[in-house]
């Protein structure tokens, strides 16, 4: 009797929610803030949404992924939650003024590079 109970407890413990590490959470928050304030639109399953609505939707997906322990980096969030509809499988798109729509994964990865470059530029320099 003890062995099945122990196995059940171990499975339950390993399946618990795993929040993003602080650096990854900061990056994801920065990405979603950039999307919200970009003036760009977000396409999900054929409908266009403002940045604030896109951010709210993607935060729900992030909560789900964290709850399942499925994401630990900004890249994993982009790949597993912010690039396609989990319902239809269709890729999300981002459309900015005067530009053709691009897949959200491409847009978010480019923004992530900018977030990281800005963080590196503002980091204190080590004495050399």
Stated pTM of the model: 0.83
Q: What are phi and psi of 123, to 5 degrees?
A: -70, 145
Share of the chain above pLDDT 70, in %: 87
Residue 13 lies in a domain: no
Residue 51 lies in a domain: yes
Residue 71 lies in a domain: yes
- Interval 7-51: pLDDT, tens: 444 444 445 678 999 999 999 999 999 999 999 999 999 999 999
At 40 the pLDDT is 97
Which of these, 40, 92, 96, lies nearest to 61 by C-alpha position?
A: 92
**Across-strand partners of 102?**
94
Residue 56 lies in a domain: yes
At 4 the pLDDT is 54
- Interval 84-127: pLDDT, tens: 999 999 999 999 999 999 999 999 999 999 999 999 999 887 77
Work out how many domains the chain is built from and give that number.
1
CA 97 to chain centre: 23
DSSP code for 46: T
Domain that residue 110 falls in: 18-119
Residue 44 lies in a domain: yes
Residue 127 lies in a domain: no
Residue 62 lies in a domain: yes
Name 94's Cβ contacts closer than 8 Å, sequence gap at least 6.
35, 40, 41, 42, 43, 101, 102, 103, 104, 107, 108
Residue 8 lies in a domain: no
Mean pLDDT, the chain, integer: 89
At 1 the pLDDT is 46
């Amino acid at each position: 009797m003890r062995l099945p109970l122990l196995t059940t407890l171990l499975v339950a413990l390993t399946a618990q929610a795993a929040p993003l590490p602080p650096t990854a959470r900061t990056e994801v928050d920065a990405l979603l803030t950039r999307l919200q304030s970009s003036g760009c639109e977000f396409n999900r399953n054929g409908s266009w949404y403002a940045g604030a609505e896109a951010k709210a939707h993607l935060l729900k997906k992030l909560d789900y992924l964290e709850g399942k322990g499925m994401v630990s980096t900004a890249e994993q969030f982009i790949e597993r939650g912010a690039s396609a509809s989990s319902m239809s499988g269709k890729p999300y798109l981002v459309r900015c003024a005067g530009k053709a729509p691009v897949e959200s994964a491409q847009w978010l990865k480019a923004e992530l590079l900018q977030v990281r470059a800005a963080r590196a530029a503002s980091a204190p320099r080590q004495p050399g």
